[in-house]
Amino acid sequence: MALPVAFFALFFAWPVAAIVARGLKTDGAWHLGRIADVVAQPDIRHVLWFTTWQALASTALTLLLALPAGYVFARLDFPGKQLLRAVVTVPFVLPTVVAGSAFLALVGRGGLLDELWGVRLDTTVWAILLAHVFFNFAVVVRTVGGLWAQLDPRQEEAARMLGASPLTAWRKVTLPALAPAVAAAALMVFLFTFTSFGVVQILGGPTFSTLEVEIYRQTSEVFDLSTAAVLTLVQFAAVGAVLAVHAWTVRRRETALRLVDPTVTARRPHGAGQWALLASVLAVVALLLVLPLAVLVRRSLDAPGLGYYRALTRADGGTFLVAPVHAVWTSLEYAVAATAIAVVIGGLAAAALARRDAGRLVRGFDALLMLPLGVSAVTVGFGFLIALDKPPLDLRQSWILVPLAQALVGVPFVVRTMLPVLRAVDVRLREAAAVLGASPWRVWREVDLPLVRRALLVAAGFAFAVSLGEFGATVFIARPDNPTLPVAVARLLSRPGDLNYGQAMALSTILMVVCAAALLVLERLRTDRTGEF
């Protein structure tokens, strides 16, 4: 736990504390009464209420639509499965400003629904809820589906032989085993939607605002750092309460799981029910995930002769100091570095948390690991600039600052992906290896690693994906001569003109292609070496 604790203390707790202190401390004195004054404001209370209930509704809707897809990916084998898995994950890494604009093109004025049926959803909360499903669909599919694929189907088959109906067998046998993964997925989706920024900023307009949007407005538009600091504390407290409830209700039920090789659990669909389920999942993926992506691709091709793509190779001296296409290589370099950091930090934390002899203090750190997903990325970005600007830790001019910020978001995914599998490893296997003279390192290499290798690859894929698409903190710390893809897209969208908008769509398309290619390579490696996930 030493390295994970040091990492979070230096690159999360310190920057957040610095920005809060800057907002609530004047002339060496704390003004804590400001907290009550801000929370008492009617408009702030409305923001708090909307933030909470839309996050709950988004989480429930995401689980409702994505859990059937988790079953399809875990238990059914069909042509194009690897490609479809990559397609499902691509929306999760898109910059929120781009995906929000694409969804607006579908449901807003002059959008596809408006043209076909005269229906507009941009003035309703349904646009925000559906866009949140668009982003978080992959979280449920990969988190729940990953464990579902490794559950022994013979347990459910035994219940059926004893007279249980299919629904009863699933409810009594499979669902309790999936509960830790479902809870982890629901927690991540809630945190992402509770701190939603880009989606609400574009689709909510002046009517709807979340805490994250209000923090950004108070920081960059109103320049009221004191109110922004109070809202950060409120968001921090709310997320802490959610994590405490999660830690209290979800115990170590993973220890009762019986894991098998997922290559023997996925079978060709049989019966009308499974074919109908597969068809319905494909329809949901096509309408909610593929269609917005198709809009982005079409808009990137509006200029004749791939004009928007050719423009990416030229530096105009205004928006960027380098050609926009340079952001592709910068993003890949940063994402690889961030993935390495996240896997090391998250892997060590998961290994420590999975030990049955871990103390209460170590177990309490489990909830703290999720806080970066629930704390304002705007606050973290500003905090980096304020806290990491003096020796011995002056990193403002270092390239490593961006991967460190991206790794903060990737670590929780690594922990949540690896922890259920690590806890499910039969402790008797480790004890038998130790009795035979194996060192602790060899026990990990020979016993744990083969069982968690698949989860480790999944975790690395998640960390790489979120690093590619991280925007909230990166926008404040990325250097002008080394912008990432999300930052480059946001800058292009902020400037008027069809050329800038077209280049933003072209960069977004490149980001989708890069992410899809990386995910396909990961799927191939998993299939060739560790079986189908």
* Res 283 pLDDT > 90: yes
Give every CB contact of residue 412 below 8 A, 6+ residues apart in sequence. Answer: 188, 346, 369, 370, 372, 373
**Percentage of the chain exceeding pLDDT 70:** 86
C-alpha pair distances (Å), 366 with each of 89, 240, 410: 25, 12, 15
* pLDDT value at 258 more than 80: no
Most confident stretch, 26-35, 202-211, 266-275, 287-296: 287-296
CA pair distance 2, 13, nearest whole angstrom: 15
Q: Give the per-residue pLDDT at 317.
A: 52
Residues 6+ apart with CB under 8 A from 308: 300, 301, 302, 499, 502, 503, 505, 506
Burial group, residue 496, by CB count within 10 angstroms (0-12, 13-18, 19+): exposed
How high is the pLDDT of residue 252?
A: 46
What is the predicted pLDDT for the residue at 533? 30
Query: Which residue's entry shows tokens 């080394």?
Result: 482
What is the rounded CA–CA span in Å between residue 462 and residue 485? 17
b/e per residue, 258-292, with b = 16+ CB within 10 A? ebeebeebbeebeeeebeebbeebbebbeebbbbb
User: What is the DSSP secondary-structure string of 224-237?
Assistant: -HHHHHHHHHHHHH
What is the rounded average pLDDT of the residues 503-527? Answer: 73
Whether the pLDDT of residue 142 is over 70: the answer is yes
In this prediction, residue 299 has a pLDDT band, given cuts at 50, 70 and 90, of confident
Q: What is the helix (H) or strand (E) element at residue 460, kind and residue range?
A: helix 449-469
**Mean pLDDT across the stretch 474-492?**
81
Average model confidence (pLDDT) across the chain: 79
Contact by Cβ (8 Å): 140, 70: yes
What local confidence, expressed as pLDDT, does residue 254 receive? 46
How many Å apart are CA 418 and CA 1, to the nearest integer? Answer: 15
Could you check whether the bond before residue 372 is cis, i.e. omega within 30 degrees of 0? no
Q: Please give the model's pTM, rounded to 2 decimal places.
A: 0.75
Are 230 and 39 in contact by the 8 Å Cβ rule? The answer is: yes
Distance CA 289, CA 80 (A): 16
Task: Give the tens place of pLDDT for each residue, 64-78.
Answer: 999 999 888 888 888
- Percentage of the chain beyond pLDDT 90 is 10
Least confident of 193-207, 215-229, 417-431, 510-524: 510-524
CB 87 within 8 A of CB 516: yes
Q: What share of the chain is helix, strand, coil (3-state, %, to 5)?
A: 75, 0, 20
Q: Which residues make Cβ contacts (< 8 Å) with residue 352, sequence separation at least 6?
A: 1, 4, 358, 362
Average pLDDT of the residues in 460-465: 82
Summarised one tens digit per residue, pLDDT across range 129-138 is 988 999 889 8
Per-residue pLDDT at 263 exceeds 60: no
Structure confidence by residue, pLDDT tens digits, 153-192: 777 778 778 887 777 877 787 778 788 788 888 888 888 8
Residue 524 or residue 68, greater confidence: 68
- Say yes or no to pLDDT of 143 above 90: no
Q: Roughly how many angstroms between the first and final C-alpha of the chain, as a whole number?
A: 29
pLDDT at position 58 is 94
Residue 135 CB partners (closer than 8 Å, separation 6+):
91, 92, 94, 96, 99, 192, 199
Residues whose CB falls within 8 Å of the CB of residue 320, separated by 6 or more in sequence, listed in order: 326, 327, 480, 483, 488, 491
DSSP state of 259: B
Residue 223 — left, alpha, or beta (φ > 0 → left; ψ -120 to 50 → alpha)? left
3-class secondary structure, 394: strand
Query: Can you give the pLDDT at residue 334?
Result: 92
Q: pLDDT, tens digit, for every residue of 73-113? A: 888 888 888 788 878 877 876 767 777 777 877 776 666 77
Position 60 scores a pLDDT of 95
CA atoms 182, 183, 188, 194: torsion sign: positive
3-state class (DSSP) for residue 195: coil
Confidence of residue 259 (pLDDT cuts 50, 70, 90): low
What pLDDT score does 508 carry? 82
What pLDDT is stored for residue 162 in this prediction? Answer: 83
Mean pLDDT calculated for residue range 266-285: 84
Is residue 56 predicted with pLDDT exceeding 90? yes
**pLDDT interval class at 499 (50, 70, 90):** confident
CB 398 within 8 A of CB 327: no
When pLDDT is cut at 50, 70 and 90, the band that residue 360 belongs to is low
Contact 482, 330 (CB under 8 A): yes
Identity at 472, one-letter amino acid code: G
For residues 68 and 273, which has the higher predicted lDDT (pLDDT)?
68
Highest mean pLDDT among 26-30, 51-55, 99-103, 268-272: 51-55
Residue 297 in this model has a pLDDT that exceeds 70: yes
Q: How confident is the model at residue 247 (pLDDT cuts 50, 70, 90)?
A: low
Mean pLDDT value across residues 299-314: 84
